[in-house]
Amino acid sequence: MKFSHNSKTHRVCYRFIYMVDYPYRQRFQELCKEASDLEKLAEAQTILIRCGAIGYGVDQLVRRYQQSRAILDSPPLDKHEQVDSLLDEVIDPIKKLFGALGMDQVSLPPSSVRLDVGTSGGSNPT
């Protein structure tokens, strides 16, 4: 999995790795200085996966999506298309990832909103 330096996922993962005390933290910081080297970039990405930063980032995106959907769905907004479009743009890469892993739905407590991977846009109450 590759991350551009401008992606939101990139920033969330970096924030995580700098907040959490992790054995490879110093090595990760060294690798970041040489991110233009593809081998070092790959090693840094492996550290992000192993330390849980990727999982943390995905968890945060899904939870915030669910919270946003719950807020927007009760009471429903009259003109919600632009907000729905923005939420879909943020969550679609996560849906694609889950779909590639064979996961049809993802539910995270305590939310009452389920992320349906097989559909585009919106969500369904559980």
Quote the CA–CA distance of 85 and 2 in Å, as a whole number: 24
The number of distinct structural domains making up the chain is 2
Encoding tokens for residue 72? 């927007």
Whether 2 is covered by a domain: the verdict is no
| Whether 47 and 74 share a structural domain | no
Beta pairing partners, 115: 106
State pLDDT tens for residues 40-60.
Answer: 989 988 988 888 888 888 888
Question: Which pTM does this prediction carry?
Answer: 0.63
| Whether 45 and 87 share a structural domain | no
| Whether 28 and 66 share a structural domain | no
Average pLDDT, the chain: 75
Whether 117 is covered by a domain: the verdict is yes
At residue 119, φ and ψ (nearest 5 deg) are -120, 160
pLDDT at 74: 78
Whether 3 is covered by a domain: the verdict is no
| Whether 91 and 117 share a structural domain | yes
| 78: three-class secondary structure by DSSP | coil
State pLDDT tens for residues 74-104.
Answer: 777 777 788 888 888 888 888 888 888 888 7
Residue 33 vs residue 7, higher pLDDT: 33
Instruction: Give the up-direction half-sphere exposure of residue 81: CA atoms within 13 A in the CB hemisphere.
Output: 1
| Whether 35 and 81 share a structural domain | no
Q: Which structural domain range is residue 19 located in?
A: 8-51
* Residue in the block written with tokens 């939101």: 8
| 106: three-class secondary structure by DSSP | strand
pLDDT at residue 24 tops 80: yes
pLDDT at 107: 57
CA distances from 93 to 2, 27, 33 (A): 13, 28, 27
**Which runs of E-coded beta strand occur in the chain?**
105-106, 113-116, 124-125
pLDDT at 122: 44
